[in-house]
Structure 1
Amino acid sequence: MPSTTDSNLEIGRRANDEARADFATWLMMSKLNSVDALPQEAQTFFSSYLALAARGKQAESAAAEATIQTVYRHYYARMGGTGTAPVIKPAPKPKLMSDNNQNNRDNVTPFRRIKQDTPPPREKKKMPVALIFIGLIVLAVAWRYLSKGSL
């Protein structure tokens, strides 16, 4: 039975995603000096990463990728994958947004105002307060006149 069946590929994708997410979490926890809070299994994987990075033979990114692949194979077996773990290609890195300034290679888009084609609709004129007050007086007088019959 080949190890590249659909179910094994799905298990492989989930194991790969989980391994990459866990490794990123371990790196963040190491920056916060809280590696001791990790489970023993995670501490073992992370210490192997630190040993690979300290050897100097591999760059830090290569040591990270080797550790992620080790964790991936372990997670694949734990999730019930059969045979050897399939090779999962990492998702392509998103392209940086191009801007007029080629030296600016970050992914921040500068704010630009959108020019309006049509003028905004005019607001309705508000009724002056004096006119409202006069209207209330007229209503009060009319009420008194109608309720009593005369002023």
Structure 2
Amino acid sequence: METLYDIERVVPHRGTMRLIDRLLAWGEDTVAVELRVPQEGPFSHDDGVPAWVGVEYMAQAIAAWAGCHARRAGREPSVGFLLGTRRYACSTPYFRAGALLRVEATCELLGENGLGMFSCRILWDGEELATANVSVFEPPDAMAYLENVQ
């Protein structure tokens, strides 16, 4: 069984921008995290959190997966980039405040250049609420990459 790191040790997101609460499991190609949909926060509305935020929930699950792999290799987690999503489907317009969500991601493809594709889903009480294919990019040196882009 892989080490279940504290979420703060495997994702770079801090404060109100860290949307996931806990690492549940991870392996060579998979990760599962959970979060409690907040009553108040940067994306909260009277009806809950809009369904489109689910893409970021998925991206942060992927960040946790990458961070776990970095920690296992003795490295610090690095910054990655959400490139986009394909076929995001969600059965609800909002995630209800207080709901405990499980977010799962499976690595479908990971290139040596840092480009990756993950199959993701969000579950509530065992029911699948959302699915998507999420594309990400983790450059070898994110800060150098950002400086070169500017």
TM range (shorter): under 0.3
Structure number with the bigger relative contact order (C-alpha 8 A, sep ≥ 6) is 1
Tell me the TM-score normalised to structure 2 length: 0.26
Larger Rg: 1
Query: Which has more helix, going by share of residues?
Result: 1
Q: Compare the two structures and name the one with the higher strand fraction.
A: 2
State the TM-score, normalized to the length of structure 1: 0.26
